[in-house]
Chain A
Amino acid sequence: MLLSASARADALNMPVGVSETSRIVYDLHMLILWICVVIGIGVFGVILWSIIHHRKSAGHQPASFHENTRLEIVWTLIPVLILIGMAWPATTTLIDMYDTGGEDMTVEVRGYQWRWQYKYLDEDLNSQFSFFSNLATPAEEIQGQAAKGQYYLLEVDNPLRIPVDRKVRFLLTAEDVIHAWWVPDFGMKKDAIPGMLNEMWTRVDEPGIYRGQCAELCGKDHAFMPVVVQAMPQEEFDAWYAEQLQAAKAREEALSKTFTEQELMAEGQKVYNSFCSSCHQPNGQGMPPVFPAIAGSPVATGPKEDHIDIVLNGVPGTAMQAFGRQLDAAQIAAVVHYERHAFGNNTGDTTQPADVVARQQAQQ
């Protein structure tokens, strides 16, 4: 009971964090906070004293002074000195935060409505790979139909992994609207802006899982695109990295495979729930007029090629994104097949990766 109460107790202050920078930022925050508290106590104390003692009901007669040049100069100059005292550590910290050089590795962070994509950049293009990081909290918890877990809204399917004690440089950008990537424990956030490239860095010194959120309003599911980073020892990280490279190769091979209907439906449902259901809804009913229904839609019951094209290229000027840049041909084939055979739709055809590849080539 006591334990659960303390686990739920709200945090009051900025986290100290797990990097040198975050600790310096915390110290700076506490320094200015205490300066403000001391000045506040002083000024409010004078006001309170005045309210108590200099009131008419206490018989106090008004004085008539209305200026004092020396006093006014003093209370102009002293704040200037205090400000200089604050600006000095702020400047040195900022210069250090801007030093993004000398990194051990680089991760590209790309914001989408409403998920993050992480890409490990490497000079050898064969050892690069990328993946998406989606909210893992089930809709039932959000809708109040299931008990909320400990990491409600702060859990993802694939967290970003980084090694500890390494200077990791992040390159931030976005695909659609402006997002902001924020992990409070790292002591910094930065905007991810479509068509622009921002950078920042961190060096985490404790293994662990660190959680944050998108900080820039990015549309309806702004609250539902958490950032989760797992910092791990270098050896563990290397093992995981090699595993991911293998998996990426396997996915590439899947592009030339032919799947059974069951396989397509299973994979399609998975993709649909991660990428489509936030707008078109888990039951395919959408939210007209902004987000049309899949159930009974002319696209999902019409020609297969048109359906593939819309998923590949999106619909310009609407919220429908071009998923050709987010999903591979096998995933798109599966989700198109799923949409044509779920929610009461039944076109009776099958969609294979080869169909998607054919459309991609036809458009190039």
Chain B
Amino acid sequence: MSEVVVTHHDEHHDHGPAKGLARWLFTTNHKDIGTLYLWFSFIMLLVGGVLALVIRTELFQPGLQFVTPEFFNQMTTMHGLIMIFGAIMPAFVGLANWMVPMMIGAPDMALPRLNNLSFWLVALAMTMLVSTLFMEGGGPNFGWTAYPPLSTTYGPDSTTFFIFSVHLAGASSILGAINIIATILNMRAPGMTLMKLPMFVWGWLITAYLLLAVMPVLAGAITMALFDMHFGTSFFNAAGGGDPVLYQHVFWFFGHPEVYIMILPAFGIVSQIIPTFARKPLFGYDSMVYAIASIAFLSFIVWAHHMFTVGMPLAGQLFFMYATMLIAVPTGVKIFNWTATMWRGSMTFETPMLFAIAFVVLFSIGGFSGLMLAIVPADFQYHDSYFVVAHFHYVLVPGALFSIIAAVYYWLPKWCGRMYDETLGKLHFWLSFIGVNVLFFPQHFVGLAGMPRRIPDYSLQFADFNMVSSIGAYIFGFAQLVFLYVLIKAIRSGEPATDRVWEGARGLEWTLPSPAPYHSFTTPPKVVESEAHT
């Protein structure tokens, strides 16, 4: 067997990337596709960020100063859609493309052509979605959740394009998930048993199953909306025998696992980074795996906690409250395990570690407000207020996004063979850390005091904290331009990186040269205990 592999390797000895644009259009190489995904998601992050700054600029003071309410609603809707489907999810897929084969000792993804298709599908989907902003009547303006009848009977003409682009993004995610599952289950190097998988790979394996399970459900929900709009059905129209709340149940059956699709890979990343910089193995590897699996399971039975005010029967409210509260247990286990990993380690605080520690602390704050939101009687007050906005931004920005940034700093030297500027990296961290808290922490207060979400104008008692929040948004937005500069500087003129890069790094990816060759592990590596998992 190994002889065959060696022959194969020799035949393609000089097989490097194609030249010019064709390399990126037709590539089936997991590293190229990973790079495409990562740059694409960074562009989407900047686009979605600009929309967020439009929102925060309008909310800087009470009154309508800059945009009309209709345009404001397009901003909130598109900001959510772009950040979820354009920035966070593709960034994780990009990381998976780059790292999963290198971490499990595989030469590439299992289905390379499908991989190319997944990327170009999501690129097309997002381009189409952004183009709706320039259509007559404007882009989608009903929130990313698209509740009917606001999105169907009362939606703009571009809603059809919105549905089509979400379908395409969903198809991309499904294909990507199939590819990741096939790769992890079939292409591990000999000796890489499931319970030796790096945590990032575990996080993604379970995420991929979540994607497979729920993206078709989202497709079902928006297809029913499409039929209501154009083909005379009444799935969500009470006048025709349907039920607007049905959409919300179906949507959130997708929507809640979707939240974990955006956080389980982050758990994996942080579980890679903290042991490296604490120079100590991950505490409780087995319980980390079981915790991710439990969270994934629970994500399927808590969806209605997004809709406690729709008027469910008492028994339903109680069930969803208890199930939601249960999530705190495995999540707590993960936080405690990361803390125990740092405990009595030998820590250094390079930029990836700073972002990872900030993740643990700030994600916990998002978890606490999540637990509060689970308590139904209190949720009647919190629901649809800025408290919810603060909650999910704490989970998604210093949660998911910080983990992605940490991963980029952590693995960038392996990708391009060069180190980033540590001083600038730390500057990026502190600007982001301060900015994100100034931005989102005051939103807890205005929410508790009664400010509803998705409003372009507010009454005077919310003025001070909104101004503070907007200032935080500008700091945070500016910090990401620093990030862009750090990346470009590192790629063009960074110091050469060593193969191991970090003193405490463990895992197969660090046994490869830096930068990683275009084709790596064309013969499976031998998995030794010390590199098995960290």
Chain A residues with a Cβ under 8 A of chain B: 8-15, 24-25, 28-29, 32-33, 36, 39-40, 43-44, 46-47, 50-51, 54-57, 60-68, 71-72, 75-76, 79-80, 83, 86-87, 90-91, 93-95, 97-98, 113, 141-144, 148, 150-154, 172, 176-178, 180, 182, 184, 187-191, 193-196, 198-199, 212-224, 287, 289-290, 317, 319
Contact = CB atoms under 8 A, between A and B. Distances in A.
A217 B156 CA distance: 15
B50 interface: no
Interface in B321-361: 321-322, 325-326, 328-329, 332-333, 335-336, 339-349, 357, 360-361
Contact of B285 (A66, A86, A141, A153): A66
Contacts of A51: 342, 347, 349, 357
B154 A319 contact: yes
Label chain A's interface by main secondary structure: mixed
B454 interface: yes
A219 B237 contact: no
B347 A43 contact: no
Given A25-B378, A62-B278, A90-B321, A10 B243 contact: no
A66 B452 contact: no
B348 A178 contact: no
Contact of B346 (A32, A55, A95): A55
Nearest to A155: B459
A22 to B, nearest CB: 8
Q: Taking each of A113, A143, A214, A220, which has the highest tally of chain B beta carbons within 10 Å of its own beta carbon?
A: A220
Contacts of B345: 50, 54, 60, 62-63
Contact of A54 (B333, B342, B377): B342
B272 interface: no
B326 A83 contact: yes
Interface of B: 62-65, 68-70, 73, 136-138, 141-143, 147, 149-150, 153-154, 156, 237-239, 243-245, 278-287, 309-311, 314, 317-318, 321-322, 325-326, 328-329, 332-333, 335-336, 339-349, 357, 360-361, 364-365, 368-369, 371-372, 375-378, 380-381, 383-385, 445-446, 448-450, 452-465
B283 A60 contact: no
Given A144-B63, A215-B452, A76 B325 contact: no
Nearest to A78: B332
Contacts of B454: 217, 222
A293 to B, nearest CB: 16
Contacts of B344: 50, 54, 60, 62-63, 65
Contacts of B147: 178, 216-217
Contacts of A191: 309-311
| A-B residue pairs, 7 tightest by C-beta | A195-B238, A223-B455, A11-B449, A198-B311, A36-B368, A62-B346, A66-B281
Contacts of A176: 149, 153-154
Contacts of B329: 76, 79-80, 83
Contacts of B383: 180, 189, 215
Nearest to B73: A220
B63 A218 contact: no
B63 A142 contact: yes
A148 B459 CA distance: 9
Contacts of A47: 339, 342, 357, 360-361
Contacts of B137: 289-290
A66 B286 CA distance: 10
Nearest to A316: B153
Nearest to A317: B153
B377 A25 contact: yes
A177 B342 contact: no
Contacts of A97: 377, 380
A29 B371 CA distance: 11
A13 B448 contact: yes
Contacts of B68: 220, 287
Given A47-B357, A72-B333, A153-B457, A28 B375 contact: yes
Contacts of B380: 25, 97, 187-190
B376 A11 contact: no
Contacts of A39: 368
A191 to B, nearest CB: 5
Contacts of A188: 380-381
Contacts of B448: 11-14, 29
Contacts of A113: 154
Contact of B328 (A79, A154, A196): A79
Contact of B464 (A10, A68, A212): A10
Contacts of B63: 141-144, 148
B287 A72 contact: yes
Contacts of B282: 66
A234 B533 CA distance: 72
Nearest to A55: B347
A64 B281 contact: yes
18 contacts: A10-B445, A10-B465, A36-B369, A36-B372, A46-B343, A54-B347, A55-B347, A80-B329, A142-B63, A148-B460, A177-B149, A182-B450, A188-B380, A189-B384, A194-B238, A220-B68, A222-B454, A287-B70
A257 to B, nearest CB: 35
A193 B454 CA distance: 18
Contact of A36 (B156, B371, B458): B371
Contacts of B153: 176-177, 317
A8 B465 CA distance: 11
A28 B244 contact: no
B504 to A, nearest CB: 8
Given A11-B449, A194-B244, A215-B385, A86 B375 contact: yes
B339 A50 contact: yes
A85 to B, nearest CB: 11
B238 A144 contact: no
B464 to A, nearest CB: 5
Contacts of A64: 280-281
Contact of B314 (A14, A98, A214): A98
A172 B310 CA distance: 11
A195 B239 contact: yes
Contact of B381 (A25, A32, A71, A221): A25
Nearest to B383: A189
Contact of B458 (A55, A153, A194, A220): A153
A12 B390 CA distance: 14
B381 A196 contact: no
A143 B61 CA distance: 12
